[in-house]
Chains A and B, each alone.
Chain A
Amino acid sequence: MSERTLYDKIWDSHIVAQLESGQYQLFIGLHLIHEVTTPQAFASMKETGSKMAFPERTVATADHITPTLTKLRPFKDDLAESMMSALEQNVDEFGVRFLNWASGKQGIVHVIGPELGLSQPGMTIACGDSHTSTHGAVGSLGFGIGTTEVGFVLETQTIVLNRLKVHRINVNGELNKGVYAKDVILRIIHDLGIKGGLGNAYEYAGKVIDEMGMEGRMTVCNMSIEGGARIGYVNPDQTTFDYLEGREFTPKGEAFERAKDYWKSVASDADAEYDQVTDIEGGSIEPMVTWGINPGQSVGISENLPDPKSFEGEDIKTAERGYEFMALKPGDKIAGTKIDVAFLGSCTNSRISDLREGARVMKGNKVNPRVRMLVVPGSQQVQAQAEEEGLHEIFREAGAEWGNAGCSMCLGMNPDKLVGAERSISSSNRNFIGRQGSPRGRTHLGSPATVAASAIEGCLTNPADVVGD
């Protein structure tokens, strides 16, 4: 038998059946749900009088519509309120564990899954949100699914999938100082394109990934979907085990040792075969920012904006459209572009290491008076940790707003939104038109350090220019 990848191993052990269509019915080990993509699924179950197959394998939280600057109920937005109460009723009626505000464990699904040890190596994980790829950082397969499929999982704990190819991406060598996981994934998407991963799972490997902490790996896996790959993962290793040990839902004592044996066994074999392998030199990556309207339209912070003619085919048109919408010109420097808003948060970059990095840059500095800065921890636990370390004071003293856990300005579904044609630097994952809540709002994506440095200077800035390292 040929040597197998982590993808092959987890896939094979979770197959329930091959359907007539040729697709596979796959068992889902962990189902994470939130307030937005579930009401319809529960509504149709009630209509048909159906039951959940494995209610104990589903865990709920609230993040997308949850306001971050107030905890008052009912929410001001009637629809948000009705969505929240629908979730509360549904978890009650169906007996699903709900990590709400009162639990102290609420947060963005993709932050709390690993943080609580719910997401473990060797599992299949599904959630009605495309950034479920994040959980691949612990060596699982995380599938972003639609509401109909949420219904499938609720009722049968399975989904239907085509087998993917596996593309291994080695990030070799060392990263330069001031270059982060976010810059790595933006560079990967820049090089392979936003469609480069279609039909593929990305396996991230190489020295840079091996040496990266778990939270950095989550940032990388999180944006796999922006590169077109539904799945991204890192093989579980000692870093993974150390991260998971002692977390609330991680097996304890001897069970932990047995778990570790299983976790080790799912890692890709040393001589596993890949459909494609790409090598990227870590030392060639610099802080990246996007300039356009998709996450592939990015440049190194010291570079000039590319000529649309340097692209191929319809990418030329997309580039022109990007320039027009973003009001930028080819040939100009990206650094120095004036911004109105700086957002540090989202399931890409709202973990404690992200906030520490932002605070390190921010310390002793002030947010430029023209700029509104919003810092939103990814979970209540991250928030508590940050407050214990005094990070919130650093941000507040600098003039930033400090929010409560949630998706916040990653998407325009809660009160945190861009206004008019405001331009933001954001640590989130999508710079699509309208994404941050204003149809004319302009988004630049960058790392937490870049967000903080740009907030201070009032324009897109290389963090090295602020902290001097």
Chain B
Amino acid sequence: MSDQKITQVRGRAIPMPGDDIDTDRITPARFLTALTWKGIEKALFCDERENTPDHPIDNPNYKGAKILFVGKNFGSGSSREHAPQAIKRFGIDAIVGVSFAEIFAGNSLAIGMPLMTASAEEIQKLIAHTQKNSETEYTADLETLTLSWGDESLSVGMLEERRQSFLKGTWNILAILRANLPQVREVAEGLPYMREFQD
């Protein structure tokens, strides 16, 4: 599975200030009716984009960006995978933020989108810097756990096991789970309710 390794994401960034951005804002519930992920990127922040003339997602300066800068508790709320899918399919390959909601983080891992953390002050600086210098190219490096641009760089955090999944290309875990099916059957046989309490 070496082709699935993710060691680095490079590109410009979109600053998305604010804490507690929940999945209802990222992909409003009415888009949950999509049957495949195709086109889900159109739902990205669509309600607030309608009411916000220079929403970062629409700002031409950030077009083609690969990295998203966010605040604290990003992706809270409903478990919908539509949120990370929409972000990824919009073209974002990594998110750097203060913190992430758990289910959102799990869903992001499963689709191969690394999440990195930095302090609130650092994120604030990054957001301010990008707002002024949208052309800045960032490199988010999973091996060195750094985010660098120009001559500057800062250390970022990441759950070690998730980092390893990206580095080793094991984030696509379905194959690994499948390989364990014999053990799965063994565990199932040992559970009283799987035997319908027959013995």
State the A residues within 8 Å of B (CB). 13-17, 19-23, 25, 27, 29, 36-37, 39-40, 43, 53-54, 64-65, 77, 79-80, 82-83, 86, 120, 122-123, 128-130, 144-149, 151-152, 155-158, 160, 162, 194-195, 198-199, 228, 230, 251, 255-256, 258-259, 262, 294, 314, 317-318, 411-413, 430, 432-435, 437, 439
Contacts and interface: CB of A to CB of B under 8 A. Distances in A.
A25 B197 CA distance: 24
Given A15-B187, A130-B78, A294 B173 contact: no
Nearest to A314: B19
Contacts of B78: 129-130, 411, 430
Interface residues of B, number: 62
Nearest to A436: B29
Given A152-B173, A314-B72, A17 B192 contact: no
A58 B128 CA distance: 49
B170 A262 contact: no
B180 A17 contact: yes
Given A144-B79, A230-B103, A16 B187 contact: yes
Interface in B178-199: 178, 180-181, 183-184, 187-188, 190-194, 196-199
A251 B194 CA distance: 11
Contacts of B198: 255
Contacts of A251: 196-197
A79 B36 CA distance: 11
A23 B159 CA distance: 11
A375 B198 CA distance: 42
Given A40-B35, A120-B193, A144-B103, A129 B79 contact: yes
Given A21-B162, A152-B174, A439 B28 contact: yes
B165 interface: yes
A413 B29 CA distance: 6
Contacts of A195: 73
A27 B188 contact: yes
Interface of B: 19-20, 22, 24-25, 28-30, 32-37, 47-48, 50-51, 71-73, 76-81, 101-103, 106-107, 110-111, 120, 160-162, 164-165, 168, 170, 173-174, 176-178, 180-181, 183-184, 187-188, 190-194, 196-199
A49 B107 CA distance: 23
A155 B192 contact: no
Contact of A16 (B51, B102, B183): B183
B193 A158 contact: no
B30 to A, nearest CB: 5
B173 A230 contact: no
Given A157-B184, A412-B30, 16 more contacts: A13-B190, A16-B180, A19-B176, A29-B194, A37-B80, A40-B36, A83-B35, A122-B192, A130-B103, A145-B79, A147-B81, A155-B178, A156-B184, A158-B180, A314-B19, A430-B77
A51 to B, nearest CB: 11
Contact of B76 (A156, A194, A435): A194
20 contacts: A14-B187, A17-B180, A20-B168, A21-B164, A25-B180, A27-B184, A29-B191, A40-B37, A53-B184, A64-B32, A77-B33, A82-B35, A129-B78, A152-B177, A195-B73, A318-B20, A411-B32, A413-B32, A413-B33, A439-B51
B110 A149 contact: yes
Contacts of A14: 187, 191
